Amino acid sequence: MRDLVLAIVTLALGLIAPAGAFEIEEERIFGAPQGRELSIISTTDVPAIAPVMEAFVRHRPEARIRYMQAASTEVFRAIHDEQAEIDLVMSSAMDLQMRLANDGFAAPISPEIDGLPDWARWRDQLFGVALEPVLTLASRRGLGDLAPPRTRRDLIAMLREHPDRFDGRVATYDPQSSGVGYFLISQDSSQSDSFWRLAEVMGRLNTRLYCCSGEMINDLRSGRITIAYNVVASYAARYAPDDPDLIRLALEDYTFAIQRSALVPVNAPDPEYATEMLSFLLTPEAQAIMAESSGVALIPGTGPAASVHLRPVRLDAGLLVYGDQLRRGNLLAEWTAAMVQP
């Protein structure tokens, strides 16, 4: 796992952080050293978001962006548990973002949202900024003479028929430690019964569990694994844009697209500037940059069109069900039973 550094909750104010403060993985400053500061906490890796941040400061030379990258659970904890004073919150964990908004942590704002689909916003508090298709990745060398699967049924059959080839060489998110990983198995389990058949097969093959898409891709490229199930498309584009060994599979039974969403906390130091940034993220310029890495446009006409197999997950109150502790416990128990078999 990548090294974590202790984040200072009140970093912008120069105060000492309390014990147990939320943790960040990387931090970068964009723009003028002494400019008007905008603080952002986000799950998106710094290299992936850098072109958008750099575009913003080109238009606004007075801007100084303090960008903090953190895991989805840490982003949630920073706002929900610690009330950190941060201007803008972006995360791909849609259920956690919805919980923040529903629990009163998101301020009502009025960004410019021309063309944004209705399913990509919740009231005037939570807004989608990018679509992130969730893919299955495979290694051509690892598959050898096997045809790449086109559906989950194909994937299940391939794994069952060739256990020696795939034992210990399949990867996916660990839903116990990853907020996005938990959300994805929640979506999978509600979409199709075939997911649990796939989970049982993966469990028998000693599937490796990861915190992050990036680590799965690194191990796939190094030859340690052959299949990575549920990888966010933009990471594949950044880590291996021209890797001839990497096969990107948008499975034809369904391919989820989660939304990277943004909100302005009620205690944001500069909510007007945060709203300006959110408006910029929804411009054709910024949307085109983000669609280049994810492979699909959130706002029609700003990037590649969605395939017929793509199923965007809506921003609505139905996402709150995934935070129910009884449901979570049952789902994780079923997942563990599938992963840990005699």
Per-residue pLDDT of the chain (342 residues; tens, 9 = 90+): 333 333 323 333 333 334 458 899 999 999 988 899 999 999 988 988 999 999 999 999 999 999 999 988 899 999 999 999 999 999 988 999 999 999 999 999 999 999 999 999 999 999 999 999 999 999 999 999 999 999 999 999 999 999 999 999 999 999 988 888 898 999 999 888 889 999 999 999 999 999 888 889 999 999 999 999 999 887 777 766 678 899 999 999 999 999 999 999 999 999 999 999 999 999 999 999 999 888 899 999 998 888 888 999 999 998 998 778 888 899 999 999 999 876
Residue 121 in any domain: the answer is yes
Domain limits at 268?
A: 5-130+262-303
> Is there a single domain that holds both residue 211 and residue 62?
no
> Is 127 in contact with 111 (CB distance < 8 Å)?
yes
Question: Where residue 334 sits, what CATH number does that domain have?
Answer: 3.40.190.10
> Is there a single domain that holds both residue 73 and residue 195?
no
> Is 212 in contact with 179 (CB distance < 8 Å)?
no
> What is the model's pTM?
0.85
DSSP string, 199-250: HHHHHHTT-EEES-HHHHHHHHHHTS-SEEEEEEHHHHHHH-TT-TTEEEE-
CA 49 to centroid of chain Cα atoms: 12
> Is there a single domain that holds both residue 123 and residue 165?
no
> Is there a single domain that holds both residue 10 and residue 117?
yes
> Is there a single domain that holds both residue 153 and residue 203?
yes
Q: How many domains does the chain have?
A: 2
> Is 86 in contact with 39 (CB distance < 8 Å)?
yes
> Is there a single domain that holds both residue 81 and residue 228?
no
> Is there a single domain that holds both residue 196 and residue 327?
yes
> Is there a single domain that holds both residue 193 and residue 154?
yes
